[in-house]
Structure 1
Amino acid sequence: MVPGRGGACAAERRHRPLRGARVTAILHVTRDLPPATKGGISTAVHGLALAQAEAGHAISVVSFDGWRPRSRVGAPGTPPRVATEGPLQVLRVRGPSDLHTANVFAADAHPAVVHAHDGLLWALAARVREVHGVPAVLHVHVLQAAMNAVRGVTERTMSLDAQERALREADAIIAPSRAVAALLREAAPELAPRVAVCGLGHTAPAARAAAEPPTEPGPIVYVGRFDDVKGMADLVEALPRLLARFPAARAVLAGGLPDNPRGERRWRERYLERAGLGAGARTAFLGWLDPDALDALYRAAAVVLVPSRFETFGQVALEAMARGAAVVATRAGGLPELIEDGVTGRLVPVGDVDGLVAAVAELYADPQAARALGGRAAEASTRWRWPAAVAALDEVYAEAETVRRTPREMT
């Protein structure tokens, strides 16, 4: 498998056959499928699954919603039921007592391939592969080693152990960016033959009638998790400085810390303490938004700030670009593969708060330049539509079947 360029891994070619026929049944194993949205992975997997269904595939999803792996296997509760959610067949599980139902659901789906989106969920994908003799692929949405490094975590974690097992066993490994692929190959060169670079995608935003430029700048916007890896500490420093520089400016933070209200509250309190009463009063915390509200926020933004310390891809940046927003981001992970500095956005070094403030301030003070940057970003974002990703993944699935049928030594 070779790294791709642009918005897909390899060129957009016709679907290859899998076991002599076009892939028609795909089983996704993921977390928190919308409407249980808890971050970029949720929306990315949902967008991919819908696009694959639109392309003619039969899509089934096991979604581990609010998963509690340490709950008692025999804990009482109502067994989960299969739901038809648009073109998707979805089973939502919450604990080990639901795993039997998940295995039955997987068997009934008759998948040609299993697509796992989290190393902690690999055991289910591996079991389906073993029982049904189909390939299983791993999508590296989060690179645990890189995330632990950003957080200063030095001990082994359950998530790291699970991801390393999945990387060893997967028939194909999908890296969302060349940056992630390079880190995987550097850490474990034996993975290289099974690594493919496939960018994510976005749904083309609804066309809007041309509107007059706003008379006042929109807000400075952040979207995503409140997390060290997402650069929250840098955001906490940068936003109050920007609001102090522009007394009429507003800031909007959409997102939070799923399943950790106490941690989310600590970030909010830390920000408000740093911002003071004046800037704090001009800052809105909106929580997680539905797609329509998020679309409107991107379109209204003066600047969208992506201060990440590491990104495997950069879904927020892509969504904002697609809606014509001016994006200021760091050079973290896959972000430079989405954004051309000075052309389709602005890039600054990771952790450079002064650079973030300067880049945002320059665009905020010059709305015409920000609109021009956003217009070029919207045009560039068309390379990353979901149909291209679907076609590319069909190629990966076909190659994974070849790997599955070729004995290899497990290390």
Structure 2
Amino acid sequence: MASEHGPARGAPRVLHVCDSIIGGTGSYLAELLTPQAKLYGPAQLMLLMPRQHIPDLEPRLIDSGISLIYFHRPNRLLGMVMLFFAYLACLRRYRPDIVHAHSFGAGVCTRIVPWFRRHRLVFCPHGWAFNMPVSAWIRSAITLVERILAMRVDRILLISQHERQSAEQAGMPVRKLVTIPNAIATEPPPVAAVSWQDTRIKLLFVGRFDRQKGLDLLLDAIRPLGAKYSVRVVGRQVVGNGVDLGEPLDFVDFVGWRDRDEVSAEMKAADAVIVPSRWEGFGLVAIEAMRLGRPVIASDAGGLNDILDHGRYGFSFPAGDVQALRILLANLDKDQLPSFGEIGRKRFLAEYSADRMVSQVDDVYRDLMTK
């Protein structure tokens, strides 16, 4: 453990690199870096991130004392160029022992540096880009790029068993793969539930309004079920990547973007949380709900299927299948929900605590530093 006067003995100097901190990746970084600051000492940690995403930083990450380094990201493509040069500057200035890259863009920029490197390189895809619903030739091209870049990394951390299976099927070197499921702190934020008075089933959606998260599928499926449901939607439209949400429904309330404490307050007021994603590397919203004892209704996309284990720990339906979701919602019994909430919470406590995740990532770092 780090002391108040300096880093812990033998603590690695770690540079985290990300091309976006919005959504699940940002939550992951808060859950990982905040305890790492206590474990290693904040002076040992740096985070390179987009300046445009400063408003999305969690307060606890800001307060952790780690060095926050920014690059300009006017758009995704130009942002990657700016990230690459900012990354080179960080290597020269900070001389990290470990570089930990998060998501596709940061993974590319950190792995294409052409000369000999002294640091160890760890990459976490947070959802493989080749698992997105794209054309066959684009998927093949992305898979080839990832296979080539995998040769330039020391370890690849996978946040779900689904991600590992995808990596193996894509031909990634198995000796470099380490599965460390995503996780969050055992104790939720100490906030009170928001007011939500309704005798119907109170159903909560949390996420971006883009194709991946499937809000349009939910609204289509639940359209004829307003007599049974009151729906709240937490999130916002994604510029350039939104979806058509159809005609407004009088039983669906859009409440805007919320920080993680506010999301917990919304979840505490809900009867159930729904995650209708078309694809998903993990599914952080699901375990946030399970931590609070709220039952989860989710598609079987990617890591969500790992979390719910084919419906053992929640309510599952085939990803993208509006009719199957409508049938599930039409037949859902409100009296069932509390028992599924209890089952989900036990699953969370057994598998998805942040202490375990931090310890396992530390094991990877220390193993690499001995080689």
TM-score range, shorter chain: 0.7 to 0.9
Q: 1:251 aligns with which of 224, 227, 231?
A: 231
| C-alpha distance in 2 between matches for 1:122 and 1:45 | 15
TM-score (norm 2): 0.80
Q: Is the 8 A contact 1:328 1:359 kept in 2?
A: no
Contact 1:167–1:191 (CA<8 Å) still a contact in 2? yes
Q: Structure 1: which 5+ runs fail to align?
A: 1-20, 68-82, 406-411
Aligned to 1:117: 102
Pair 207,232 (structure 1): closer, same or farther in 2 beyond 3 Å? closer
Match of 1:27 in 2: 15
Corresponding position: 1:395 with 2:363: yes
Q: Counterpart in 2 of 1:90?
A: 68
Question: CA distance change for structure 1 residues 159 and 48 in 2, over 3 Å: closer, same or farther?
Answer: farther
- Which stretches in structure 2 are left out of the alignment for 5+ residues? 1-8, 54-60, 73-78
Partner of 2:27: 43
Residue 159 to residue 343, structure 1, CA distance change in 2 (3 Å)? closer
| Corresponding letter in the other structure for 2:347 | A
Q: Count matched residues.
A: 344
- Which residue number in structure 1 is paired with residue 213 of structure 2? 230
Report the counterpart of residue 329 of structure 2 in structure 1. 360
Quick one: distance in 1 between partners of 2:218 and 2:17?
33
Q: Write out per-residue CA displacement over residues 156-192 of structure 1, whole angstroms, 9 at most, x where no aligned residue.
A: 699667644432321111111111111211121x511
TM superposition score normalised by structure 1 = 0.73
Deviations 1:244-300 (A, max 9, x none): x52xx322222234343xx43xx3xx3232xxx5xx122222332111211111111
Q: Which moved more, 1:200-209 or 1:135-144?
A: 200-209
The separation in 2 between residues aligned to 1:290 and 1:84, in whole angstroms, is 14
Cα drift, residue 130 of structure 1:
5.3
1:6-25 aligned within 5 A: 22-25=10-13
Judging changes above 3 Å, is the alpha-carbon distance between structure 1 residues 400 and 130 closer, same or farther for their aligned structure 2 residues? farther
What is aligned with 1:191? 173
The aligned amino acid for 2:358 is: V
For 1:47, the aligned partner's letter is E
Whether the 8 Å CA contact 2:191–2:265 is kept in 1: the answer is: no
Q: Deviations over 1:223-262 (max 9, x none)?
A: 122233333442232121332x52xx322222234343xx
Cα deviation for residue 350 of structure 1 reads: 2.4
Equivalent in the alignment of 1:64? 50
* Contact 1:120–1:163 (CA under 8 A) maintained in structure 2: no
Distance 1:335 1:99, change over 3 A: closer
Cα distance 1:229–1:41, how it changes in 2: closer, same or farther (>3 A)?
same
| Residue of structure 2 in register with 1:7 after alignment | none
* Aligned residue runs from structure 1 range 12-411, under 5 A: 22-33=10-21, 38-57=22-41, 58-66=44-52, 85-94=63-72, 95=79, 96=81, 100=85, 102-122=87-107, 124-126=109-111, 133-147=118-132, 150-152=133-135, 154-155=137-138, 163-188=146-171, 191-203=173-185, 204-206=187-189, 216-217=199-200, 219-243=202-226, 245-246=227-228, 249-260=229-240, 263-264=241-242, 267=243, 270-273=244-247, 280-340=249-309, 343-363=312-332, 365-366=333-334, 368-382=335-349, 383-401=351-369
Q: 1:128 to 1:45 in 2, by over 3 A?
A: farther
Moved more, 172-181 or 96-105: 96-105
CA contact (8 A) 2:12 2:365 kept: no
Measure the CA separation in 2 of the matches of 1:91 and 1:49. Answer: 14
Amino acid at match of 1:369: Q
Counterparts of 1:158 and 1:27 in 2: how far apart (Å)? Answer: 29
Change (3 A) 1:85 1:167: farther
Cα RMSD, aligned residues only: 3.2
Q: Which has the higher contact order (CA 8 A, sep 6+)?
A: 1
Q: CA deviation at 1:65?
A: 4.4
Q: Is this contact kept in 1: 2:273–2:289, CA < 8 A? A: yes
Structure 1 residues 160 and 281: CA distance shift in structure 2, 3 A: farther
Counterpart code for 2:18 = T
Deviation at 1:222, TM superposition (A): 1.5
Q: 1:156/1:324 Cα in 2 relative to 1: closer, same or farther (>3 Å)?
A: closer
- Give the secondary-structure state (helix, strand or coil) at the position aligned to 1:272: coil
- 1:173-224: per-residue Cα shift (whole Å, max 9, x none)? 1111111111211121x511111111111122035799xx977346322112
Per-residue CA shift, 1:74-129, capped at 9, x if unaligned? xxxxxxxxx96433211121154576554444444342211001232235434789
- 1: distance between equivalents of 2:134 and 2:237? 15
Identity %: 24
